[in-house]
Amino acid sequence: MRNNLFITKSITDLQQEATDNKSGLKKTLTSLNLTTLGIGAIIGAGIFVLTGQAAAQYAGPAIVISFIISGIACAFAGLCYAEFASMIPISGSAYTYSYATLGEFLAWIIGWDLILEYLFAASTVSVGWSGYVVSFLKDFGIFIPTALTAATGSVLVEVPNVGWQELTKQLTTAMMAQGVNVDALPHVTAIINLPAMFIIAVLTLLLIVGIRESANFNNIMVIVKVSVIILFIAIGIAFVQAGNWHPFIPKNTGEWGHFGWSGILRGAGVIFFAYIGFDAVSTAAQEAKNPQRDMPIGILGSLSVSTVLYILVAIVLTGIVSYTTLNVSDPVAVGVDAMGKGMFWLRPIVKIAAIAGLSSVILVMLLGQPRIFYSMSKDGLLPPIFSKVHPKYKTPYVSTILTGSVAIVLAGILPISILGELVSIGTLLAFAIVCVSIIVLRKTRPDLKRPFRTPWVPLIPILGALICFVQMAALPIDTWARLIIWMALGLIIYFTYGIRHSKQRALNNPSK
């Protein structure tokens, strides 16, 4: 039974499958498409929200160091992903890599785990998208009822002209501290987050129409947000006050993780969410024109560009205003406000860039998950309907519709805090397994042709896996509990359906 659980797929067969393109998926993506796809997945909530919040709560101006640490950790995992993606250019990301190295059972574990990364990430970011859109519309006198802009059951205080629910809570706390009777203010119980559901529905339809159309839309969104980020950096440099960088590493408060070097490390763990998504490039491997060359470029190129932009924004933002003022949902907008009334024109542009940036992240997350379902279905671990390709658009439309439908429900009813923690732990586990898989494959199949080779093996994979496991250990215990429950559900599905319909198992045991 143990050997059956750890049965592996033939890498030679996988490479032949990619060469023959029996999947029916259309090969249209270039290295530029893949790079912008990665940038689209990475640059979003991290640069527009987490930068300021992590600086204010944990690291101060030294959040720059936190970004470097977290970026290095992702670079380790990215190098491992690049080797796999060039060698096994098949849809499925870490799921396919694990199947070829660690066996079917662990492949199922990672495939099920990846749902936490892609499906829940799409829902998480859509909640952030909702907040920015609501705030942007209010600037023009368009108001969406508060009951329709938050997680189901949330009890909110009605504070005029505030777009973000988190900021509303902060204002409520401040009013209570000043002796204001908050209970006397209007309250509302949220029904559903309608804007978040709306954007997922629109992007799901776009993904059904075609990968080329989706990539073109993503390219436009990436151009918009990167252009505005560069504009903010270029203009913001002139408003930097060096005094805001002192002390660069604020003195620790006496509690681990609150400033000092421990704060820098905690900040690195928190902003790790900002980097997730570069592995989405690997899920589109079968739709790349020249995957052996283009996949490493897409993965490492998007990581490099995003890391540089994160660091520059952190330097400029903490130089314009004191880090103590950045614990808000729109820190970049706070930075723009600090530039003076003459720069107020930049505020709506920043919001537009945030909306565009978050839109592209949602798109890429919704693109990645159906392709993982597609691969698992082709292997027999999920029902055949998950690998059904649209006869006209050549996209896995059934999986896309399912992914979009579930994401819509999650975005409408769950708060961003729970969604975000689940995304982080799922992603860290996926990265760790990919790093370990590289070491295993180098030992078991040193003869395989590797168009791209991860340098300094096993050091790089070991460091990548170690950093991921450390960050997982730092997450709250209730997040671990949710992960265990989720994995238990996955095991039930595997042992009641997947193990009985596994095509690889049937090939190895033709008499059964």
Q: Fill in the amino acid letter for 158.
A: E
Q: How many CB atoms lie within 10 A of CB 46?
A: 26
Where do the CATH 1.20.1740.10 domains begin and end in the chain? Answer: 26-153+192-502
Q: Which residue has the tokens 């977290």?
A: 70
CA dihedral 57, 61, 63, 64 (to 10 degrees): 170
Helix (H, G, I), strand (E, B) or coil at 288: strand
Q: What is the pLDDT of residue 381?
A: 94
Q: Which residue has the tokens 């590289």?
A: 438
Q: What is the pLDDT of residue 458?
A: 94
Q: What digits encode the pLDDT tens for the residues 157-182?
A: 454 444 444 444 454 455 445 454 44
Q: Which residue has the tokens 């006209």?
A: 392
- The residues, ordered by sequence, that sit 6+ positions from 44 with a Cβ below 8 Å of its Cβ are 125, 128, 274, 277, 357, 358, 360, 361
Helical H segments across 88-164, by residue range: 94-101, 104-139
Q: What is the pLDDT of residue 319?
A: 95
Two structure tokens written together for 265 = 């490390």
Q: What is the pLDDT of residue 242?
A: 92
Distance CA 375, CA 345 (A): 47
Distance CA 472, CA 421 (A): 10
- The residues, ordered by sequence, that sit 6+ positions from 112 with a Cβ below 8 Å of its Cβ are 486, 487, 490, 493, 494
- The answer to whether residues 98 and 107 touch, using CB atoms and an 8 Å cutoff, is yes
Cα distances (angstroms) measured from residue 17 to each of 92, 281, 421: 13, 19, 36
- The residues, ordered by sequence, that sit 6+ positions from 251 with a Cβ below 8 Å of its Cβ are 259, 260
Please state which architecture CATH assigns to domain 26-153+192-502: Up-down Bundle (1.20)
**Phi and psi at residue 187, in whole multiples of 5°?**
-120, 155
**Phi and psi at residue 25, in whole multiples of 5°?**
-75, 145
Q: What is the pLDDT of residue 31?
A: 87
Q: What digits encode the pLDDT tens for the residues 230-261?
A: 999 999 999 999 999 999 999 998 888 789 98
DSSP state of 249: S
Q: What digits encode the pLDDT tens for the residues 263-313?
A: 888 888 777 767 777 777 777 777 788 877 888 898 889 989 988 999 999
Distance CA 287, CA 394 (A): 10
- The answer to whether residues 264 and 58 touch, using CB atoms and an 8 Å cutoff, is yes
Burial, 293: exposed, middle or buried (Cβ in 10 Å; 0-12, 13-18, 19+)?
A: middle
Q: Which residues of the chain have pLDDT under 70?
A: 1-3, 17-25, 45, 49, 91-93, 150-190, 211, 273, 329, 416-417, 510-512
Q: What is the pLDDT of residue 168?
A: 47
* CA contacts within 13 A on the Cβ side of 506: 9
Q: Fill in the amino acid letter for 26.
A: K
Going 457 to 438 to 110 to 219, the CA torsion angle's sign is positive
Cα distances (angstroms) measured from residue 437 to each of 368, 381, 404: 21, 20, 30
Distance CA 418, CA 348 (A): 29
Q: What is the pLDDT of residue 131?
A: 77
Helical H segments across 379-415, by residue range: 397-413
Distance CA 70, CA 61 (A): 16
